[in-house]
Amino acid sequence: MNICETLSPSQQHLSEALKNRDYMTCIWICEELELQSSLQGQPFEFYTLFFFLLLLRNQCHLAHFLWKRCPYSQREPRLMTLREIALALCREDYETAFSLCRNTDWQELNQLATDFLEVWRARLANKLQSTYTVISVTDCCRYLGMSREEWMAKPYWRMEGEYVFPDRRVPTCHLLSSLQGNHNPIEDPLETLTRMKTTWLQDIGYLIEVVCTQEIQVKGYLYTVDPNTNNLILLNDYDPTTTKFHQLTLVMGSAIQEMKRLQVTEEPELTNRIRQTDQVEQLLVQQHTTETTQVSSAIEQRRNKLLELLNKYPWKTEWDPTSGIIRVMEGLVRIEPPYTEDSCFSTQQNVLLQVVNLLETMETMPNE
């Protein structure tokens, strides 16, 4: 199958969206550019921007995996600072997170940093308002990540002495809508996608039309829906002689604005055929089964080789066939599958070193 490059944004589109503070479009373009870079074997150049945008959207879990994908050579100082901000947000240490954001020169991302502070303050204020009926000024400032002077200059709620009464809602929607330069509330697209997910599952196998950001339209037969990212896979270019599709299109869930089912007119049984076919699934299952069998066989050979070598020493060795764990010296050393140096454990450093040296010796032994 070939990957259809129907959605192919450019760096120019990203610059325009960033200039317009259209951050949802920026996230979608970054996802697409990262995917294109991976397919073309080229480095992705926007890790810092992408990471910042994910933190803005309160998607720290996605930012964590983006950090893992980022090569060490591209972890610039600003990205390292964003990593610290993400960790602070996870700890709910908002004062540290906001202080790092304020005291860092973000260069071309300074406007994004300003919007980050504004959105997160509004998000926390709404959360605090829905949780407390009365709270001390000190705790309120600590939770919102601001100094007492900042709070006194512009308090969100009514104050009486040293206590704050969060009795009205902060206009969060207005603050969030300002990111796109309008006065309409911004609806979280992930919530919209969740509501649509049930309908999507009912559309599997049918011809659909997807409307994405920047008015991009994609058509194809819906093959599957990712339950976590809401990404879609569409099938196209059907060959009736081979009863197979020759084109696969990946549509990013964050880019989807609307989806509707179209009427099938070219072949009545085509939809049912898609719903019943398991070409991709069968291929993946077969490949997984083959790889699992090969790995299991290699681990078994390694275990037998290790047991044979251990029996040459005056050490009591036991192997548990249920868990696969090898215990040496009455359990003083534990060797777990796949029986490498990294899976060798002991509280006695000198004993552990002896077994690790033995494993290194086994690596140099010729295979039978």
Residues 61 and 156 in one domain: yes
pLDDT in tens, 318-339: 888 887 888 888 878 888 888 8
State how many domains the chain has.
3
Calculate the CA dihedral of residues 10, 16, 18, 21 and round it to 10 degrees: -140
Mean pLDDT of the 156-180 span: 56
Q: Confidence class of residue 51 from pLDDT cuts 50, 70 and 90?
A: very high
179-204 in b/e burial notation, b at 16+ Cβ within 10 A? beeeeeebeebeeebeebeeebeebb
221 φ, ψ (degrees, to nearest 5): -85, 125
Of the candidates 56, 65, 62, 46, which has an alpha carbon nearest to the alpha carbon of residue 24? Answer: 56
Dig out the tokens for 234 from the structure. Answer: 């569409």
Residues 80 and 198 in one domain: no
Instruction: Tell me whether residue 230 is in a domain.
Output: yes
pTM, 2 dp = 0.47
Q: What is the DSSP letter of 227?
A: T
Burial of 87 (0-12, 13-18, 19+ CB in 10 A): middle
What residue numbers bound the domain in which 336 lies? 303-364
What does the alpha-carbon distance between residue 11 and residue 15 come to, in Å, rounded to a whole number? 6
Residues 81 and 174 in one domain: yes
pLDDT in tens, 185-227: 334 444 444 445 445 566 777 788 888 877 788 888 888 777 6
CATH number, domain of 166, equals 1.25.40.990
